[in-house]
Structures are given as structure tokens and as C-alpha cells.
Structure 1
């Protein structure tokens, strides 16, 4: 009997030690939240703390770490996506006698800057007029079917940029941008133009009034679809002495947005497009030749923006690019990530519907997320680019993570995930360095239920910072 008691105590001690590592975070379980957490050292595999680490929970935007890892594994840090202007028409005396086609290469960060460069290179090629159509081809993928409420609603009206729709030929992260500046005098309408052009590329419904100096600036914008066209409706006020403000809202059709934007860029570059623009899901003609091309930024730079700003458009476009066959959808992109994860030892179950985490059905465990982090740590050619995409709480771009002790702020790099519907989700995953320089990984997922109260980031990050600080100082 005494021996059995001793064995039982020996088995219970590690569990008690692990739970004690997250003593502050564990208080959330007392309030009814579902918590999965694990922290461990990478050299010894010692578990410093755990709360149901194998529990499958919604990770929200922590899903983006999986996209980043899979993308680096597939292409490497220096890969660039190429966007081309092609045609099978003849060029005679500066006139392209047929259609000009933009071949959307799936660049997640294609911006107006690259479109300007394409227009300039086309001009250098000697093109001064296109007597056919400007055709934007999204043959790789797009329009991608929406599978979340936010994105489905964005097809008709939207008041945000995070739910942008998806295309392999999207520009400016699938969102329109307008610049709001004060008018000539107090009481006059504000001056609103497209961010990248003196002429309006998207239709603008200006309901902003210029107020006297120092009156404050309050803007409210919504993109609606009216008579088949996107319209940016901007309301509010702007002070006479205010600097211009940029406002982004998701477009209803990213490929059509690209067509309208590129047409404006071409015409402002001195290249007249005779007919209107069109959108296609067909690949370029077999005989088409490249007239101009632009390479996007290296993948390691794309991941900085994708992860630091938790850009849903970029994450899902990267996931769609992982699919090798045309006409990809979100679930195929997620399946490509799952296939990559299947090669990670000890990861365990994973269920994804998107790479962005905008889909609340995504499920993974804290121990699985740590297995991903550990696997990337042991890939020296990829790890520098991977870890650089995580934020340090002390100087990260997201202000809400700038909390906790100096140890937490400067010894931790993390990725956060947030959802508020259908239940609250706050998730964090990343790396830490102990006082002696040892590397560790941690992942925490907190999911609400229909019966739990509201959850904010302070309720998760503050106790997590205390727990991790204690672990880091102890080792």
C-alpha cells in the first residue's frame, strides 16, 4: 500500500509542477473559460507549465504562424511573386492592336506602387495606346467563395478592411483607399480623393464637413455597392488644420478593383486604353508574350506584414498560393497547410478552414502549436525569417501587447489571435529566452463559451506575463 501511495505521488508531482507554471492564467478556468496552454524549453524539452495542452481550441490569428511556416518551407525566404502584363496582339507604331492582360501572380502585397512600375515599363516598351480591352486575369484563384459572415457581407457593404475578399490579382490588400483632407474653409466639404491618384478611382460620396481649426476629426466610412459599382461613403468632420487621413475599406471585387486602378495608372502614364476593362478567370493565351513584369517583395518581408499586422488578406492569399492546381479555394489552401503539418513530429490533430484564422472553426492545441514552433527553430535556414515575423511586446507594432514586466517585454516574441464572434477568443504563441539564454516556446489559447463574460486582452496578457516572467527568471 505504501509503495502504491509513493508511485501515485510521483505521478502527481509533475502534473502539479506543470500546472503551477501557469498559476495566474489558470484563474480564467475558474471563470468558465476554456484554456489550453503549454510552455517548455527547447533544449531539454522540460515542460515549465501546462493547462490541458492537448485540448483542441480556436487559435484565431495564431493560424497565421502555420501559413508563415508552410510558405517558408515551400518557397524559402527570398521567393518573390511576379505580376505580368502580357498580350498576343501586335504592337504597331505604339498601338497594341488587341487586348492587354494582367496575369495575376498571387502577390499578397501587390500595391499601386507595383502597378505604377508596370505602367512605366509598358511605356518604356513603346506602348502608347491599347485599342482592345484591359483584362485582369485571376485564373489561379478568384473570386474565392466566402465562408465567413464578414466576408459574405463585404460583397455588398462593409465598414472595415480586415474582411477583404480574395483574388490572385488583388491590389492594395483587396481594399479601396481614400484620402480625406480639409476643404478650403470651415463649413465647406472636405477634399476626398483616391490615395494613389489625383483623380478618383473609386466613386466617392463625400459627407464630411470641414470644421474650424482644432475642432477634432471624426470620420466614419462605409463601402457600399450601388448600381453595380463600389462607392465609398465617408461621413463626419475634419478640422481645418488637420493633416490628411487615409481610410481603407474592402472592395466588393478585388480583381475589378485592380482593373479600375491599373486603367487609371496607365492613362496617367500616357497610355490610352480604348475600350473598357474586364475580369477573366481564363489563363493568358498560349501565344501571349510578356510586355512588362514586376517582382514583389521577398517572402520574408511579406511575412513581417502578414504576421505583425495580422493581415487576413495576405495570409489567405499565401495559403491559396500553396495549392498547386488552378481555381483554389480556402479549404484547399488550408488542406495544403495541414499536409505540411503532417510532417511535424508530435504535432497531433489539426483542423483548418483558412490560413488567416478568420474562420472560427479552426482548431489546434497548445502542444501542437509548440511542436510547430520547435520544428521551425531547428531549421537554421528558415528560422531567422520565421522568428522575425513575431513581435516583441516591448516594441511591437500592436500597442495592446506593450504590457507586463521588462522581462516579458524584452525576452518574448509572440503572435496574437483575436475573435469576438461567435465566442471570445484570445490566443498567443511564440518564443522566449531565459536569463541564461535558453530558448523556449509557449502557446496559450483561451476560448469563451455562451455562458462566459466578455474577455479582453488585459485579462489574458497580464496573467500570462506574470507566469512567463516567473519561468524566464527561474531558468
Structure 2
């Protein structure tokens, strides 16, 4: 591990650009002096050995980098290898949130529409019915049920043409990160339409010497079974799951020896358009409308009539939930939607992430940041702590991000949540195997507000993990646990040094 501390290095990050949202003006220059504060005896005690010594004491394999700045002045207070880029993991979602909010606006709503491409006579649609996705990352089975009811209310009783699903609002991506195991639900396909975060619910129950299995698109209200995802129980021990693209079907197998008496899990969907079409057919049938099997279309015909529209929640609410639950699909869809809205034509997650990286460099001076997706799942992404802190300082001046970040509860000496801790933190966490990140804001006991970023990664250990073992590799959990303990000690150090 190579560490280099910039304890006395100071610069004003306010000049690196300011976030501009609709109705929000340019950030004003600092109104206070940038001279360092007088330091107390407590500061001298805490500073003993420096941040290098604190990091070294943990003996964490790989690299640890960090930076912290005063939010009011933009003054960098401390950094350890602050210009070194490491994988940010889900901390990247904080940047994606800023990118989407500035580009689309906090009040933006995604629209999913039902279109009629043909005349309607006596309740019969003599042309095609199109379920047109609009990039909504939070569309659910419940929403499709509402659209099906609206279709009936529009007077449609029968379809003579084809039933099509339009998913061309965003480029199709087979999986967020090809390096992940096929069966993990956090790396599904991405396209212009999504349903239930592009996950299908697999449930099994022992029945004599065999198993009863079900694949459905459940919510709290509905449990429609799907035909486009199929599961077969196979007599083997490993691998637990296999996946095959069978054209119009996601074909899965599961090892009998791993099932036990029963259980359930969410599996990723690789054909989002067909998944949404499958479920919508079921919901339409419940309304007495029989539709043929869905076909995927890449374009929308001119002159189509809008029969019904579902609008998503406001983007700011979607982004807040994304940051709280760290949903990868939401990050990718709102990020790509922003890239498209900015006039780009991304053909992949990487090209859309490139557009966001260029935006971040122009807006915040984040010249050391290069992302390969919007969620942080891809291990090739790199972000420097000084880059992120620059963005956080600027975003705070317009009060854009901190209200959306989840409170990060510090822990006591026994590892228990300590809600009475004198330091309050709102931050985005990021966790991959042998990668741990944390970036956000902290308020010290005297009210001083700091922006910080901490990244730790052992990329060598990560590279040695076989693809099949990436869900729970040996040693990753203990490594990540130590990294999180180091994060808290860095936060407490900064609170003592710069907030007392």
C-alpha cells in the first residue's frame, strides 16, 4: 500500500464549477476567509501520526484513498492519495443522481403508454396495440394492471392486429456487468422498458420426491405467472444455476441438491420487453381482452393514438429511493435517460457513462473520474476522492444532494448502531467484493459541515475470484467489514480535528 498525505495542501474547489438545476442560480463565491483555523490541543492529539498512520494500523490489503473539505469555504482539509482513482462501487450513484437531476429536472416523470396504431371500430382495434416504454425504472405489475383497466375503459374489447412492446427509448443491454454470475438479481438486462426492476420471482416447494416451481411477476397485489422465464430442476450439486438464452424464453436450470425443502429468490430478466408484454397480456385477459404473444419493436409508427398513459413518480423521489436502496437498474436507466436527453445517442452503458464522465469533468473539474456505467457495478470504473468531494461541495451550495442521501448511522465500540453519536452523516455507501466506498456529508459537534470521500479496494484479490464465486467469495466479508470500521474512524478523526 502506498500512501501520501496532503495534510497542508489547500485549494478552493468552488472554482471547479457549480451544479445548476432548473430554477437554481449559479453558486456564489465563498463569503468567508479561506485561511486555516487555529488548531487546539485536541487537534494536536488527534493529528499524531496523521491519516497515514491511521490507515496503516488497519493493515487493509490493497489501497485506501480519501479526501475531506470544509463545505462552507471549499477548503480541502486533508487527503491521502486524493488524486488516485479507485472503483467507487455504488458511491457512483451519487454522481448519477446529480447528472440526472440537472439534465432532466427534479419534477421529470417517465411515461409508459398504450398506443393504437390503426382504426378502432365498435371496440375492435383493427391495427396494432403497442405498450411503449419510456424509460421508467420503477414500473411494476400493479402499474400494468392499471393500464389494462384503462384499456378496457377506452372501449377496447378486441385486437385484430399485433401486440407489440416498444423498448427503444433506451439501448438494450443484456446485463449491467457481464462479469457477474448469471443468476444475481442486481445485474439484469436494461432497455427502454423495465418491470419489477427486471427481476422474476422464482419459488420452489418440495412435493414428494420432486419439486413444484413457479416463476411469477409478483407484487403485494398480484402474482401473475410468466411464460417467458422457465425453470427446470436438474439432478446435480453444482453449479446451482445455469442460464440459456432460448430466443423468446429465459431458460434456467437449478441444482436439485441446493433446494432443500423450499424457498424463493429473485432472478434477473434478460428480455425486459417480452417480460412486460407477458405480464400485460395476463392483466388484459383479466379485463376480458385477449392479446396475442408480444412482439418487440424498435420504433413507433407515426400517427398512433394514445389510449392510456402511466406516469412515474417525480424523478427526485425516484433518485432518493435509488440512493437509499442502491438499485442498480434505476441508476442505469436514469443515467442513460439523461444522456439521451442531452442529445447523445449512447449504444451501451459504457458510452452513456462516458458522457456522464465528460459532464462531470466540465461541471466539477472531475478530470480523474472515468466510469463504465451509472451504478458503479462495473469494476473498471475509477473515481478519485478529490473529484467526488469537489462535486459534493458544489452540490451542497444549492442543497441538491444531502437531503436525498440516506443517514449513515455510526456505531459504538461494540459495533451497535449509535443514533446518539454527536457526528451526523448523510452518505452513499458502495460495496463490491474487496471494494468499499463512502462519500457524502458529515456535521461535527460544533456544526461544522464537511464533505468527504473514502475509497478502499484490493483489485488484485478481486481479480482472483472465479466468476462463479462472486456472490460470496472467501475473505471478502471480513475485508469489507474492516474497511467500514476504518471509514468510521476517519469520520471521527475529521470530526475531532475540524469540528471542535
Q: Give TM-score, length-normalised by structure 1.
A: 0.80
1:138 and 2:167 matched: yes
CA 345–141 in structure 1, closer or farther in 2 if over 3 Å, else same: closer
Q: From 156, 165, 173, give the equivalent of 1:127.
A: 156
Please list the CA deviations of residues 227-278 of structure 1 after superposition, one character each: whole Å capped at 9, or x if unmatched. Answer: 7522455652447xxxxx65211112111211112112211222111x3210
- After the TM superposition, which of the residue ranges 34-43 and 11-20 deviates more from structure 2? 11-20
Q: For 1:327-346, list aligned pairs within 5 A.
A: 328-346=347-365
1:24 to 54, 57, 60: 54
Which position in structure 2 is the counterpart of 1:417? Answer: 430
- Return the alpha-carbon distance in structure 1 between the equivalents of residues 49 and 324 of structure 2: 30
Counterpart selection for 1:313 from 324, 329, 345: 329
**Is the 2:7–2:78 Cα contact (8 Å) retained in structure 1?**
no
- Contact residue 98 and residue 131 of structure 1 kept, 8 A: yes
**CA–CA distance in structure 2, aligned partners of residues 444 and 371 of structure 1:** 13
Alignment partner, residue 392 of structure 1: 407
**Correspondence for 2:199 among 171, 175, 189:** 175
Q: What is residue 86 of structure 1 aligned with on the other side? A: 115
Aligned to 2:294: 277
Q: Distance in 1 between matches of 2:232 and 2:334?
A: 35
Map residues 341-380 of structure 1 onto 2, 5 A cutoff.
Answer: 341-380=360-399
- CA gap of 1:174–1:376, structure 2 versus 1, over 3 A, is same
Show the counterpart of 2:214. Answer: 192
Cα distance in 2 for residues equivalent to 1:198 and 1:369: 42
Q: Are positions 1:201 and 2:226 aligned together?
A: yes
Distance 1:308 1:471, change over 3 A: same
TM-align CA RMSD: 3.2
Contact 2:197/2:329, CA 8 A, preserved across alignment: yes
CA offset at residue 406 of structure 1? 4.8
Q: Does 1:229 align with 2:246?
A: no
Cα drift, residue 472 of structure 1: 2.0
Report the counterpart of residue 303 of structure 1 in structure 2: 319
Q: Indicate which of 103, 108, 116 corresponds to 2:132.
A: 103
1:1-48 C-alpha deviation (Å, 9 max, x unpaired): xxxxxxxxxx997379597256433435x5542121012221244444
Do the aligned partners of residues 404 and 335 (structure 1) sit closer, same or farther apart at CA in structure 2, a change above 3 Å counting?
same
Partner of 1:159: 183
For residues 232 and 113 of structure 1, do their structure 2 counterparts lie closer, same or farther at Cα, with a shift above 3 Å needed?
Answer: farther
Change (3 A) 1:426 1:54: same
Aligned to 1:40: 69
Deviations 1:160-200 (A, max 9, x none): 111101101121212212455x68x8878457352435552
- Equivalent positions of 1:69-84 (< 5 A) are 69-84=98-113
Hey, what does 2:279 align to over in structure 1?
261
Q: Is the 8 A contact 1:320 1:328 kept in 2?
A: no
Contact 1:369 1:429 in 2 (8 A): yes
Any conservation in 2 of the 1:19–1:50 contact (CA below 8 Å)?
no
Asked whether 1:14 is paired with 2:8, we answer: yes
Q: Secondary structure at the match of 2:114?
A: strand
Q: 1:445 and 1:223, CA in 2 relative to 1: closer, same or farther beyond 3 A?
A: same
Q: 2:486 aligns with which of 456, 463, 466?
A: 463
CA distance in 1, matches of 2:48, 2:387: 17
User: For residues 193 and 369 of structure 2, what CA distance do their matches in structure 1 show?
Assistant: 30
State the SS of the aligned residue for 1:119: helix
CA distance in 2 between counterparts of 1:45 and 1:232 reads: 52
2:186 aligned counterpart, secondary structure: coil
Q: CA deviation at 1:279?
A: 0.3
Equivalent residue, structure 2, for 1:439: 449
Which whole-Å CA distance do the structure 2 matches of 1:305 and 1:22 have between them?
Answer: 35
Displacement after TM superposition at 1:442 (Å): 1.0
- Structure 2's unaligned 5+ residue stretches are 10-43, 235-239, 463-474
C-alpha change, 1:404 and 1:443, in structure 2 (3 Å) is farther
- Say if 2:336 and 2:346, in contact at 8 Å, map to a contact too: no
The 1:201–1:411 alpha-carbon spacing in structure 2 relative to 1, beyond 3 Å, is same
With 225-234 and 465-474 compared, the bigger mean Cα shift is at 225-234
Select between 334-343 and 62-71 the one with higher mean Cα deviation: 334-343
SS of the counterpart of 1:426?
strand
User: Taking structure 2 as the reference length, what is the TM-score of the superposition?
Assistant: 0.76
- Distance in 1, matches of 2:479 and 2:420, equals 22
Q: Residues 175 and 270 of structure 2 are in contact (CA less than 8 Å); yes or no, is this contact kept in structure 1?
A: no
Q: Distance in 1 between matches of 2:355 and 2:247?
A: 38
SS at 2:8's partner residue? helix
The equivalent of 1:242 in structure 2 is: none
Question: 1: CA distance between counterparts of 2:455 and 2:422?
Answer: 20
Please say if residues 111 and 171 of structure 1, whose CA atoms lie closer than 8 Å, have aligned partners that are also in contact: yes
- Once the two structures are TM-superposed, the CA of residue 281 in structure 1 deviates from its matched residue by 1.2
- Does the 8 A contact of 1:18 with 1:47 survive in 2? no
Deviation at 1:305, TM superposition (A): 2.8
CA distance in 2, matches of 1:121, 1:228: 27
CA contact (8 A) 1:96 1:130 kept: yes
Shift of 1:56: 1.6
